[in-house]
Every structure is written in C-alpha cells, then in structure tokens.
Structure 1
Amino acid sequence: MANEPISLVAAFDDLNDPRARQCAYRLDELLLAAICAVISGAESWTAVVEWSETKLDWLRQQLPFANGIASHDTFGRVFSLLDATQ
C-alpha cells in the first residue's frame, strides 16, 4: 500500500554505502543518528556526535550501535561520499 508508513531507517534501505571496506559503523546507524540529531537542533558533526552520545540508550532501542557513536570526522567523511541524487 502506498500510504503505509515506513520507518526512518527503511526509507534509506536503497542508499548505497560509499565505503569500499567493512567499517565499524553501519551506514544505517550513521543516518539514524545524524537525522535525529539534526531534527533536534544539531548544526555540526560535533553536535551530532554530542547529541548521539547523550541519546545512545534510545538509539540502541532502534539499532545495535555495537561500536558506539562514530567520530565527527567519520560522520563528515561518510556523508560527503553519499550520492545526493540517490
């Protein structure tokens, strides 16, 4: 059904991970943390990391975040590699 709601994470299922190797931080975890942090007012990658660290217990209810929260450099690098048209 076209009007069925989907989860925030599922909305990005078709987004290709631009990283060439296996990484400690899953793309869906980076996306979820960044989107939620920005919605909550984060305006930099450092602010995204700070928000995510304070909300890690909640984030782990959505996805594993087995390796915790990535650094601001990782967020910036991965997001700069994403295909915006995709």
Structure 2
Amino acid sequence: MARCGLVKAFANPTMSLTVLAQHLSSITDMRQAAKITYPLFDSLFLTVTAVIAGCEGWEEIEDFGHARRDWLKRYGDYENGIPIHDTIARVMSRIDPEALQGAFIQWMKETEAHAQRQVIAVDGKTLRSSCRPGNRQSAIPMVSAFATTNGVVMGQWKTDEKSNEITAIPELLSLLDLQDSLVTLDAMGCQQTIAQTILDQKGDYLLAVK
C-alpha cells in the first residue's frame, strides 16, 4: 500500500480541486479514440493529486487511486476503474509536458489570488533518482518555487547542462505571478538581475547572504 495520503493542503478552501480539474481538462489527448479505455483526465487528475499527496513512483500512484477511488469519482469518471501503473506511465509519457505545466501553474495562480500574502521559496535541487546507473553527474538539476502557504511546488525549471541556477531562476520566475508575494532565495540567488526580475513583477525579495 502506498505511503502517501491526502495532504492538508486539500483541506484548504483556497486549494480548489474543481479549478484544477478544469485546467487539466484543457489538455489535449493525443491517443486514438478507438483505443482509449481510460479517459485522459482520469490519469492526469490521479497522477497530479497523488504526487501532491506525496506518492513516489507509478505503483504508489496506482495504490493511491485504489485507496481513494470514491474521492476521485467526485471529479472524474473512473467507471473503468483505476488504470494499472504501466498504463498511467504510458499515458503520462504521451502528453505535452508544457501543457501540463501550464495547466498546473494557472491553477496555482488562481489559488494565490484567494490567499493572503504568499511566501515563495526558490531553491535548486537535484531531481531524485534521475541519474544514470554508475554516473552520478548525470542527475538532473532543477530550480523549484515552493508555495509555503499551500505547501505545493508552483513550478520547476531544468538547469541547462552548460549553465547554472543563476540563469534558470529568472526563467522560472517569469512563469509565476509574483505580485504582492515575498520571494526567498539562498546565496546563489543574490544577483541584481534576479532581484530586479522580482521587483519588475511587483514582488518583494528576501536574499540569504552567506
């Protein structure tokens, strides 16, 4: 059984899952209609909510679906049950990742609009289990923006191999609505260009200098 469960954020009235469902429904299904057993939305909504709830890996996402099927049916169909983990992985691999990211970010923007002053923590991390066997340097570096009020990641940006967090942070910030938000960054983010990017978007910043 998966170790994940519904997170406290889902109990927050500002975290409208109905709005999330609306945005996920806008993502185009590229599969052949005659071969579809599970609606795209069912796999999308299951995966996103399971990951927010702390699930790791496709098998845990499937377990989450079986444990929470009645809850999931408030938002989706799920008449054919919960797809197996291989099916979930295959469906998710065929969608446009930018479309999914865009839908999620739009949801977070609408969530922020109903929240009080938001604190956004920006930090660089290495994506877990992303390195190739025997080559730790192949791990994928990411910059993430974490909404501390709602407890969810608002967006992520992959750091280019020939670059670093300094160039990735402005790209990530450009995707977010920073108005009236406080953005916190560590020493890597102590750059005039990054600070100006935040100010240009009518946000405030708190930079940690070592």
TM-score normalised over the length of structure 1: 0.85
Q: CA deviation at 1:40?
A: 0.8
Does 73-82 or 8-17 show the bigger shift? Answer: 8-17
1:43 to 25, 42, 56: 56
Deviations 1:28-62, CA, capped at 9 Å, x for gaps: 11111111111111110100000110000111122
Q: Distance in 2 between matches of 1:53 and 1:24?
A: 17
Q: Work out which of the residue numbers 21, 25, 40 in structure 2 matches 1:13.
A: 25
Q: More deviation in 15-24 or 72-81?
A: 15-24
The alpha carbon displacement at 1:20 in A equals 1.8
Amino acid in the other structure paired with 1:83: D
CA–CA separation in structure 2 for the residues paired with 1:24 and 1:31: 14
- How many Å separate the matches in 1 of 2:26 and 2:70? 26
Alignment match, 2:81? 68
**Paired letter, 1:16:** T
Match of 2:40 in 1: 27
Task: For 2:50 and 2:42, locate their aligned partners in 1 and report how far apart those are by CA, in whole Å.
Answer: 12
Q: What 5-or-longer segments of structure 1 have no aligned partner? A: none
More strand by share: 2
Identity fraction in percent: 30
C-alpha distance in 2 between matches for 1:7 and 1:51: 21
CA contact (8 A) 1:18 1:78 kept: no
SS at match of 1:9: helix
Spell out structure 1 runs of 4+ moving beyond 3 A: none
* 2:66 paired with 1:53: yes
- The one-letter amino acid of 1:20's match is Q
Aligned residue number for residue 143 of structure 2: none
Q: Which runs of 5+ in 2 are unaligned?
A: 1-15, 100-210
Deviation at 1:24, TM superposition (A): 1.2
Equivalenced residue count is 82
TM-score normalized by the length of structure 2: 0.37
Higher relative contact order (CA 8 A, sep 6+): 1
